[in-house]
Structure 1
Amino acid sequence: MPATAPAWDPAQYLRHAGHRARPFADLLARVPGLPGDPPRVADLGCGPGNVTALLTARWPTAHVTGYDSSPEMLQRALDHAGPTPAGGRLDFAPADVRTWEPDAPHDLIISNATLQWVPGHTGLFARWTDALAPGGTLAFQVPGNFDAPSHRLMRELAASPRWRGRLAGTLRHAEAVHTPGDYLARLAGLGCAADVWETTYVHLLTGADPVLDWVRGTGLRPVLAALDDDPEARDAFVEEYRTVLRAAYPRGPHGTPFPFRRVFAVARKDGPA
C-alpha cells in the first residue's frame, strides 16, 4: 500500500475478514505449481497478514515475505510470522509497492486488493515479471466496484457544494483499476501466459449499516483522514453518507446484500512446463 495513504486500522479492516479473504483464496486456487524448491514468494500489500499465511499452507516449505507500507498493518501481521512446520518461513517487511525491488528471483509475486491504491500500477508489471524465475507467476486481484453505489455515492457527496472545498481530489475514481481485457493485453504483451477473469460476489452483511462499516476499513479512509482535524465535519459527512447508503443497500429479511465485483489475473512467465 502506498506510503502516502492514510493510516490503516487493522481491527476495522478485519471486521469483515471472512468476506475479504475469499477472493484471495479464489485467486490462489488458480496459481499453478511453482518452479522453486523451496519457492520464494512475495505478497505485496500484505495488510494484517491473515491471508499471507494461506501461502504457507499452499507451499509449506516456501520462504514467504509479506510487504506493506502501513506500520499498523505490519505490527498486526507479526502475529503470523515465524518458521513453518515443514521448514518454511513467513516474515514481513516494510516496503512501498511502487518502489519495491526484489533481492532475488521469485517464484510467485502476489498482490491482494492493493493495486487499486497504486496509480499507474500496470507500469510495474514489467519489473515484477522480470523478477520472476522461469516458470514463476505474477498474480493479483483488485476491486472492480468503483462504479458501484458504495463508491459512486461517496464521490458524489465529496464533490457536492458542502464538501468539495475540503475533499476535492481526495477519492479515487473508476480508472483506479483497468478492464480485464486491458490487464490481459498488458500481461500477454510481456510474454506471459495470462488468465484474467472477473467475479461479482454478493456478500450478505449483518448488523447496523454494514456497508458503511465495510468501507470504513477501506474506501472511506481518505475522507476520514482529510476531516480528522474537524470531528464535527467528519461526523456530518458520515451521517450524510450513511443515509444514501441505506437507500442504495436496503436491508433484507436475512441481512444486507452487498454486490462486490473483483478482477483477477494470473500470469505465468515462460519456463519449465
Structure 2
Amino acid sequence: MHSDTAPARIPAPGSPSTPTWDPQQYLRHAGHRARPFLDLLNRIPELPARIADLGCGPGNVTALLAERWPEARITGFDLSPEMLRRADEEYAGPTAGGGRLDFRHGDLAHWLPEETYDLIVSNAALQWVPGHPGSFASWVNGLRPGGTLAFQVPGNFTAPSHRILAELCDTPRWRDRLAGHGARYVHLLEPAEYLARLIELGCSADVWETTYHQLLTGTDPVLDWVKGTALRPVLTRLGNDRAAVDLFLDEYRGALREAYPPGPRGTVFPFRRIFAVARKEA
C-alpha cells in the first residue's frame, strides 16, 4: 500500500447502496468467469426439466444451462436492471430442444421458490448476499424429491486484490466516503461449513474448492477484472465524481501492480472458488 501522509480527505455525499453493474465490463473476462460454472455443471448428472439460475447476470452462463439441457425451462433471476436487460436481449426465447429461457427480477436476499424446481443453481452471486446460508432450507424445500441445489462462490476474499481494496477504502483519505465498501465477503463460509449446513438439511452433498491460476493479458489486467466485480460498490459510491474515481483508481492500480507483477506472457491471477452440489433426498 502507498503511504497516506497528510492525506486530503474526500467529502462524503450520499449514494446508492446497491452496486451499479456494467455488463460489458463484466464480460471482458467471460471465459475465465464461465469456466468454474462449467466445472460445477459437470457434477450435476441428472436431466432437470425446470431450472432457476440465481444471480444470472448478463445471461451468458444461463445460456450454458440451455446448451447442456436444451429441453429444460430455465429462468434467470437477478437484481440488476442493466444485467437483466442485456440477458433478455441476448438470450431470452425458445431453446434448441424445445425448452425456453427467460429472465426475471429477483433479489437473492429474499428470493423464495414460487414453484417446484429440479435444479436451483447459482454462479458467483451469493457472495453479495450476507446470510445466504439461511436461505438454503427454503431453497431445498423448493426442490422436487431428488432435486439439486448447486452453487459456486469466490473464496478469494483474503487475496491481495480484495485485501488491498479493503485497506485502501479504510485509509484516512477515503474512510469517510468508502469505509466498508471494499470488504463485503467476510460472510462467506469455508467448504466444511457449507457441507455441514447442507447435510443438516438432509441432503447428500459434494463440496470442494479449486484455485484457478488465471493468466490475464493486457495493461493492468487485475484492475480490469475487479472493475467488473469487487470494485463495483466503490465505483457506485463515488458516482459521477470523476476526479475521485481517477484518484482512487490510481492508488489501487499502483498497489495491484506490486501485488501482481506482469510476466513475459501475462499476469498470473490466482482465484480460489468454493463449490457445492447438494441433492435433496428422493
* Structure 2 alignment gaps of length 5 or more: 1-15
What is the rounded CA distance, in whole Å, between the counterparts of 2:114 and 2:45 in structure 1?
Answer: 23
Q: Which residue of 1 aligns with 2:71?
A: 61
Match of 1:166 in 2: 177
User: What is the alpha-carbon distance in structure 2 between the residues aligned to residue 186 and residue 264 of structure 1?
Assistant: 14
Cα-to-partner distance string for 1:102-142 (whole Å, 9 max, x where unaligned) = 22110000000000000000000000000000000000000
Of 209, 215, 219, 2:226 maps to 215
SS of 1:51's partner is helix
Which residue number corresponds to residue 225 of structure 1?
Answer: 236
Cα distance between partner residues in 2 of 1:228 and 1:239: 16
Instruction: Letter of the 1:158 partner, please give it.
Output: C
- The counterpart of 1:143, out of the listed 149, 154, 173, is 154
Aligned to 1:27: 40
- On the 8 A contact 2:92/2:103 being kept in 1, the answer is yes
Q: Give the counterpart of 1:255 among 249, 261, 266.
A: 266
| CA deviation map 1:214-264 (0-9, x unaligned) | 000000011111112422111111100000000000000110000000000
Q: Percent identity?
A: 65
CA-based RMSD: 1.2
In 2, Cα distance between the equivalents of 1:169 and 1:177? Answer: 16
Name the counterpart of 2:95: 84
TM-score normalised to structure 2 length: 0.92
| Equivalent residue number for residue 46 of structure 1 | 56
Looking at structure 1, the residues matched to 146 and 18 of structure 2 have their Cα atoms a distance apart, in angstroms, of: 34
TM-score, normalised relative to structure 1: 0.95
Aligned residue pairs total 266
Question: Aligned to 1:224, what secondary structure does the other structure show?
Answer: helix
In structure 2, what is the equivalent of residue 7 of structure 1?
A: 20
CA drift at 1:203: 0.6
Residues 154-193 of structure 1 aligned to structure 2 (within 5 Å): 154-193=165-204
Letter in 2 for 1:33: E
> CA shift at 1:175, angstroms?
1.8
Secondary structure, in 3 states, of the residue corresponding to 2:120? strand
Q: 1:123 aligns with which of 116, 126, 134?
A: 134
Structure 1's unaligned 5+ residue stretches are none
Q: Give the C-alpha shift of residue 56 in structure 1.
A: 1.2
